[in-house]
A = this chain, B = another copy of it.
């Protein structure tokens, strides 16, 4: 059993381990040493040992890690061993891109419904998922046991809509709006601020030029 209480820094790295272990499994690799994993992932072997030690006793001297076991344990910790029902709130291009990612579905994240306030797109289908009007959202969340909402709408609308979603029972918000949401304790918010990412890229380009 993997213990909880893992540091935020390690949590940030877990999905990357999960991805590499998944690719190793697909390639038929049964065991891997921290040294081999180090070369593959471009991380020091000691960092890998330290990170994976959080889960206790998999790595064995001269034997390495059992890829499938580690993959499954990390997957369980990441919650991808169970099903998460998602809605997409804001059905523009970004919302549609998310609904179209079948890879999320493979990991147990199922987009059950999409919402928008634009009457021109309400009623349309994206990969069989219907775009509904905002007034239907509350009932839909309750009926379909929706846990996560992807917020893909302009930042002006996001705070109020996020509060409503929480009132309707949403537990996690995947926030693409460029604003910090202030929500009750216990509600999980994961931000994807694309313009901040683009500015970091630009920062690194700028300092690179000045070197």
Contact = CB atoms under 8 A, between A and B. Distances in A.
Interface stretch (A30-38, A55-63, A88-96, A114-122): A88-96
A12 B206 CA distance: 15
A94 to B, nearest CB: 4
Interface in A152-204: 171-172, 174, 178, 180, 186, 188, 190, 192-204
Nearest to A100: B93
Contacts of A201: 148, 172, 174, 188, 190
Contacts of A16: 193, 196
A210 interface: yes
A84 interface: yes
Give chain A's interface residue range (CB within 8 Å of chain B).
35 or more
Copies of this chain present: 2
Interface stretch (A46-54, A64-72, A101-109, A134-142): A101-109
A172 B19 contact: no
A11 interface: yes
A19 B178 contact: yes
23 contacts: A4-B210, A11-B203, A11-B204, A14-B199, A15-B196, A16-B193, A16-B196, A19-B178, A42-B180, A79-B202, A80-B202, A93-B93, A94-B97, A103-B178, A172-B204, A174-B197, A174-B198, A174-B201, A188-B204, A188-B205, A190-B198, A190-B201, A192-B194
Contact of A207 (B4, B174, B205, B207): B4
B202 A197 contact: no
A148 to B, nearest CB: 7
B93 A193 contact: no
A107 B199 contact: yes
Contacts of A12: 200
A104 B195 contact: yes
**Nearest 3 Cβ contacts at the A-B interface:** A93-B97, A15-B196, A79-B206
